A and B are shown apart, each in its own frame.
Chain A
Amino acid sequence: MYIVKRFVTMLLTIWVIASLTFIIMKFIPGDPFASDADVLPEHVLDNMRAKYHLDEPIPVQYVLYLKSLVMFDLGPSIQSETRSVNSIIASGFPASATLGIQAIIVAVVFGLLLGIIAALYHNRLLDYISMVIAIIGISVPSFILAPLLINYFAVKWGMLPVASWGSFQHSILPSIALATTPLAVIARFMRSSMIEVMNQNYMKTADAKGLSSFKIVFNHGIRNAILPVVSFMGPLFVSLITGTFVIEKIFAIPGIGKYFVDSIFNRDYPVIMGTTVFFSVILVVTLFLIDISYRFIDPRIKLTSKGD
Chain B
Amino acid sequence: MEHLLKVDQLKVNFNTYGGEVKAVRDVSFHVDQGEIVAIVGESGSGKSVTVQSIMGLIPSPPGMIKGGSIQFEGKDLLTLSKRQMRKIKGSKIGMIFQDPMTSLNPTMKVGKQIAEALITHRNFSKANAKNKAVEMLKLVGIPNPEARFQQYPHEYSGGMRQRAMIAIALACSPDLLIADEPTTALDVTIQAQVLELMKELQKKMNTAIILITHDLGVVAETAQRVLVMYGGVVVESASVMELFENPRHPYTWGLLQSIPDTDTSEKKRLVPIAGSPPDLFSPPKGCPFAPRCKYAMDICLEEMPTDYDISDGHTAKCWLNDERAPHPETFARLGETENA
Q: How near does chain A come to B182, taking the closest CB pair, in angstroms? A: 13
With A223-B108, A298-B107 known to touch, is A204 a contact of B90 (CB < 8 Å)? no
Residues of chain B within 8 A (CB-CB) of A298 are 107
Q: How near does chain A come to B291, taking the closest CB pair, in angstroms? A: 33
Chain A 198-228 per-residue mask, 1 if CB under 8 angstroms from chain B, else 0: 0011101111111111010001100110010
Check if A208 sits within 8 Å of B99, measured CB to CB. no
Q: Which residue of A lies closest to B86 (CB)?
A: A210
Q: How near does chain B come to A295, taking the closest CB pair, in angstroms? A: 13
Q: Which residue of A lies closest to B114 (CB)?
A: A209
User: Is B168 an interface position by the 8 A CB rule?
Assistant: yes
Check if B88 sits within 8 Å of A205, measured CB to CB. no
Check if A201 sits within 8 Å of B108, measured CB to CB. no
Chain B 81-105 per-residue mask, 1 if CB under 8 angstroms from chain A, else 0: 0100111111100110101001111
User: Is B117 an interface position by the 8 A CB rule?
Assistant: yes
Residues of chain B within 8 A (CB-CB) of A211 are 86, 90, 116-117, 120
User: Is B165 an interface position by the 8 A CB rule?
Assistant: yes
Check if A202 sits within 8 Å of B57, measured CB to CB. no
The listed residue (B88, B103, B168) touching A201 by CB distance below 8 A is: B103
Check if A204 sits within 8 Å of B57, measured CB to CB. yes
Q: Which residue of B lies closest to A209 (CB)?
A: B90
User: Is B121 an interface position by the 8 A CB rule?
Assistant: yes
Q: How near does chain B come to A15, taking the closest CB pair, in angstroms? A: 36
Check if B57 sits within 8 Å of A208, measured CB to CB. yes
The listed residue (B103, B121, B169) touching A204 by CB distance below 8 A is: B103
Q: How far is the CA of A298 from the CA of B57 in the complex (A)?
A: 28
Q: Which residue of A lies closest to B121 (CB)?
A: A210
Residues of chain A within 8 A (CB-CB) of B94 are 208
Check if A220 sits within 8 Å of B108, measured CB to CB. yes
Q: How far is the CA of A206 from the CA of B104 in the complex (A)?
A: 9
Chain A 95-111 per-residue mask, 1 if CB under 8 angstroms from chain B, else 0: 00000000000000000
Q: How far is the CA of A204 from the CA of B121 in the complex (A)?
A: 17
Chain A 179-206 per-residue mask, 1 if CB under 8 angstroms from chain B, else 0: 0000000000000000000001110111
User: Is B74 an interface position by the 8 A CB rule?
Assistant: no
Chain B 283-327 per-residue mask, 1 if CB under 8 angstroms from chain A, else 0: 000000000000000000000000000000000000000000000
User: Is A306 an interface position by the 8 A CB rule?
Assistant: no
Chain B interface mostly helix, strand, loop or mixed? Answer: mixed
Residues of chain A within 8 A (CB-CB) of B37 are none
With A201-B102, A208-B57, A223-B107 known to touch, is A299 a contact of B152 (CB < 8 Å)? yes
Q: How far is the CA of A92 from the CA of B25 in the complex (A)?
A: 71
With A210-B89, A210-B120, A212-B86 known to touch, is A202 a contact of B104 (CB < 8 Å)? yes
Q: How far is the CA of A209 from the CA of B116 in the complex (A)?
A: 8
User: Is A5 an interface position by the 8 A CB rule?
Assistant: no
Residues of chain B within 8 A (CB-CB) of A156 are none
Residues of chain A within 8 A (CB-CB) of B116 are 206, 209, 211, 215, 219
Check if B87 sits within 8 Å of A220, measured CB to CB. no
Within 8 A of A (CB), among B130-181: 152, 154, 165, 168-169
Q: How near does chain A come to B85, taking the closest CB pair, in angstroms? A: 8
Q: How near does chain A come to B16, taking the closest CB pair, in angstroms? A: 14
With A210-B117, A223-B108, A300-B152 known to touch, is A205 a contact of B103 (CB < 8 Å)? yes
Q: How far is the CA of A210 from the CA of B80 in the complex (A)?
A: 14
User: Is B55 an interface position by the 8 A CB rule?
Assistant: yes
Residues of chain B within 8 A (CB-CB) of A206 are 105, 116
Check if A209 sits within 8 Å of B105, measured CB to CB. no
Check if A210 sits within 8 Å of B90, measured CB to CB. yes
Q: How far is the CA of A207 from the CA of B103 in the complex (A)?
A: 11
Q: How far is the CA of A209 from the CA of B152 in the complex (A)?
A: 18
Chain B 49-77 per-residue mask, 1 if CB under 8 angstroms from chain A, else 0: 00000010100000000000000000000
Check if A202 sits within 8 Å of B102, measured CB to CB. yes
Check if B105 sits within 8 Å of A220, measured CB to CB. yes
User: Is B106 an interface position by the 8 A CB rule?
Assistant: yes
The listed residue (A207, A213, A223, A224) touching B57 by CB distance below 8 A is: A207
Q: How near does chain B come to A172, taking the closest CB pair, in angstroms? A: 36
Check if A209 sits within 8 Å of B107, measured CB to CB. no
Check if B90 sits within 8 Å of A208, measured CB to CB. yes
Q: How far is the CA of A244 from the CA of B277 in the complex (A)?
A: 61
Check if A300 sits within 8 Å of B108, measured CB to CB. no
Check if A300 sits within 8 Å of B104, measured CB to CB. no
Q: In the complex, which of the residues A209, A220, A223 has the most CB atoms of chain B within 10 Å of its own CB atom?
A: A209
List B residues at the A interface (Cβ < 8 Å). 55, 57, 82, 85-91, 94-95, 97, 99, 102-108, 113, 116-117, 120-121, 152, 154, 165, 168-169
Contacts A/B (CB < 8 Å), 22 sampled: A201-B99, A202-B102, A202-B105, A204-B97, A204-B103, A205-B165, A207-B89, A208-B94, A209-B89, A209-B90, A210-B86, A210-B88, A210-B89, A210-B91, A210-B121, A211-B86, A220-B105, A223-B108, A224-B106, A224-B107, A227-B107, A299-B154
Known pairs A201-B99, A205-B104, A224-B105. 6 more at Cβ < 8 A?
Answer: A201-B103, A202-B102, A204-B97, A210-B86, A224-B106, A300-B107
Q: Which 3 A-B pairs have the closest CB atoms?
A: A210-B90, A210-B89, A209-B90
